[in-house]
Amino acid sequence: MILAFDDDGPGPVVVLLHGFPLDRSMWAHQRSSVGALYRVISPDLRGHGESAAPDGIYPVDAMADDVIETLDALQLDGPLVVGGLSMGGYVALSIALRHPDRVRALMLMNTRSAADSPEAARAREEQAGQVEASGDVEPVVARMLPDLFARSTFEAHPELVARVHHQMARTPARAVAGTLRGLAIRPDRTVDLPRIAVPTLVIAGAEDRLIPVEESERLARGIPKARLVTIPDAGHLAPLENHEPTDAAILEFLKSLW
Ligand code: MLT
């Protein structure tokens, strides 16, 4: 599937993949900061934003293949920097392991290599069933929202929380259900991490309650050429919650590549 995307800036290409159930608008800061020096391509993954929302399950590997198809359509068939946040990180890992010739470097933000536990997978299936039956995504969104942000973000940036809430609630019910089911069956990629040969930046949010810093430390230890940067005053959405140090870490990493 060819995805909707933004395409900003000059220079080497950096692909940025959003989390669930967000869309490419989450990269607004990076489109201007990183986009001043690099060509930032930020797609809406299937079912999200302006991309098509097919029926059925959305496996992470199918989402990854959509990204490759979209890059092919842009005739970008060489190795690129690929980055993703949370679900976008699962997709970036899938690309790095299944299409290694397409990846020059990797950026894994607020994400993990592990699969869902059986309980987490069951909970996702249950939520998918509820969303499908009711056609209402709000219960899933309301359940996720308290865990997405650092306490300081709730206090200092309520407008950001409201914007993200609004954006998540726009994702169609069948896309939320299809993605929940796809995430529930994603493979555990932990044993594959040593195969990733490219430079990798791992970004953690110091107050991420969904993916604690220790899990990001384990991810970084598993990849031979990885470095870890922990962003203060940030929860699960570091590039949105505290974009200045996140952008600085990204730009420093990119500069080290060329
Ligand atoms: C995300 O932010 O993309 C989600 O938290 C990923 C997940 O639910 O595993």
pLDDT digits (tens, 9 = 90+) for 136-146: 999 999 999 99
Q: How many whole angstroms from 103 Cα to the centroid of ligand 1?
A: 22
Mean pLDDT of 223-228: 98
Ligand 1, atom 6, residue with closest C-alpha: 87
Mean pLDDT of 165-187: 98
**3 state DSSP class of 38:** coil
Q: How many whole angstroms from 10 Cα to the centroid of ligand 1?
A: 30
Q: How many whole angstroms from 196 Cα to the centroid of ligand 1?
A: 22
Q: How many whole angstroms from 11 Cα to the centroid of ligand 1?
A: 30
| Predicted local confidence at residue 220, as pLDDT | 98
Q: Which atom of ligand 1 is nearest to the CA of 112?
A: 9
| Predicted local confidence at residue 56, as pLDDT | 98
| Predicted local confidence at residue 110, as pLDDT | 98
**3 state DSSP class of 74:** coil
Could you tell me which residues come within 8 angstroms of residue 77 by beta carbon, excluding any fewer than 6 positions away?
71, 102
Per-residue CA distances from 247 to 27, 90, 141, 210, 218 (Å): 11, 21, 27, 21, 23
| Predicted local confidence at residue 176, as pLDDT | 98
Ligand 1, atom 4, residue with closest C-alpha: 20
Q: Which atom of ligand 1 is nearest to the CA of 88?
A: 3
| Predicted local confidence at residue 209, as pLDDT | 98
Query: Is residue 235 a contact partner of residue 157, using CB atoms and an 8 Å limit?
Result: no
Q: How many whole angstroms from 195 Cα to the centroid of ligand 1?
A: 24
Could you tell me which residues come within 8 angstroms of residue 87 by beta carbon, excluding any fewer than 6 positions away?
17, 18, 19, 20, 45, 60, 111, 179, 183
| Predicted local confidence at residue 98, as pLDDT | 98
| Predicted local confidence at residue 16, as pLDDT | 99
Per-residue CA distances from 49 to 52, 152, 167 (Å): 8, 27, 9
Q: How many whole angstroms from 210 Cα to the centroid of ligand 1?
A: 8
Residue where the block lists tokens 């699962």: 90
| Predicted local confidence at residue 53, as pLDDT | 98
Ligand 1, atom 7, residue with closest C-alpha: 87
pLDDT tens-digit map of 2-45: 999 999 999 999 999 999 999 999 999 999 999 999 999 999 99
| Predicted local confidence at residue 47, as pLDDT | 98
| Predicted local confidence at residue 224, as pLDDT | 98
User: Any residues with Cβ below 6 Å from ligand 1, and which?
Assistant: 19-20, 86-87, 183, 210, 236
Q: How many whole angstroms from 188 Cα to the centroid of ligand 1?
A: 15
Q: How many whole angstroms from 79 Cα to the centroid of ligand 1?
A: 26
Q: Which of 147, 171, 210, 211 to mutate to test the pocket of ligand 1 (most atoms within 8 A of CB)?
A: 210
| Strand ranges in 125-165 using DSSP code E only, listed in sequence order | none
Query: Is residue 237 a contact partner of residue 26, using CB atoms and an 8 Å limit?
Result: yes
Q: Which of 16, 18, 20, 116 to mutate to test the pocket of ligand 1 (most atoms within 8 A of CB)?
A: 20
User: Both ends of the chain: CA-CA distance in Å?
Assistant: 32
Q: Which atom of ligand 1 is nearest to the CA of 211?
A: 5
Q: Which atom of ligand 1 is nearest to the CA of 183?
A: 9
pLDDT tens-digit map of 60-113: 999 999 999 999 999 999 999 999 999 999 999 999 999 999 999 999 999 999
